Amino acid sequence: MSTLRITPIPCLKDNYAYLVETPDACAVVDPSEAAPVIEALGGRQPNALWLTHHHWDHVGGIEALCARYPELEVWGSAVDAQLRRIPKQTRAFEHGDQARWGGHTIDILHTPGHTKGALVYVTDGHAFTGDTLFGGGCGRLFEGTPEEMLASLLAILALPPETHLWFGHEYTVANLRFALSYGGHHPETAQRLKDAEALRQSQLPTTPSTVASERATNIFVRDALKRPHGPEAIASFTAARLAKNVA
Ligand code: FE
Ligand code: ZN
């Protein structure tokens, strides 16, 4: 039974920051902006910010939160620390690192593709995937190759099937509509789209998804999961990503 409490915080147009709480610690993932995070904190004091990558719509709240809570640790990748592109970063992680926080062990996955420094934070059956893996989708390749991105997605989807995946943007409905138009008839994807549309009509988030759900319905990895080691896997991923770029 997980002792973590996770709360999505809608930010900007379609970003999610997350509040991660244990009885004695509180972290914020990807604070896009400070005001909604401070409101969600409701007087609690965070002790760490976990950054999945350096893009402005994920780091935008760091400076104001650090000014308000001077003890804050700011976590991010070694790549982004070296490039000095996450404000106030205090800790730098590489693939396979483990950090202790609030009585939990946090496993760090380096998942390049969207950016060179992209990280996924994994703990206690939960993973924060930033802009690497979205509900039914994946991030654009700003700094990485298709090979890198596909390997990163497959590393996330090698986590236990029940793992909750908390992603950086509310793109699920658009991703699943794309999957059906691009990939054709697929009952599980159609059902997931219905469920996602119902959530959004009630103004509820579609985050988190699960590893099992992504393995079943994420169009970007569908072929690679069947034959992970062939050139077809890369070709199929690349074609889907290019088609989504202009969808
Ligand atoms: Fe991004
Ligand atoms: Zn983003």
Quote the pLDDT of residue 3: 84
State whether residue 119 is helix, strand or coil.
strand
Supply the mean pLDDT for the chain.
97
Residue 123 and residue 104 in contact, taking contact as beta carbons nearer than 8 Å: yes
Quote the pLDDT of residue 1: 43
pLDDT at 171 over 60: yes
Active site residue 186: no
Quote the pLDDT of residue 239: 97
* Closest alpha carbon to 126 in 98, 107, 101: 107
Neighbours of ion ligand 1 (CB under 5 A): 55, 131
* Nearest ligand by distance to the CA of 32: 2
Residue 210 and residue 194 in contact, taking contact as beta carbons nearer than 8 Å: no
Number of domains in the chain: 1
* Residue 4: partners with Cβ closer than 8 Å, 6 or more residues away: 20, 21, 22, 104, 123, 124, 126
State whether residue 227 is helix, strand or coil.
coil
* Nearest ligand by distance to the CA of 171: 2
Output the pTM of the full model: 0.98
> The domain spanning residue 11 has which CATH number?
3.60.15.10
Q: Other CB atoms closer than 10 Å to residue 3's CB: what's the count?
A: 11
Q: How far apart are CA 192 and CA 214, in angstroms?
A: 10
Q: How far apart are CA 28 and CA 51, in angstroms?
A: 9
Active site residue 229: no
Q: By residue range, what is the domain housing residue 116?
A: 5-245
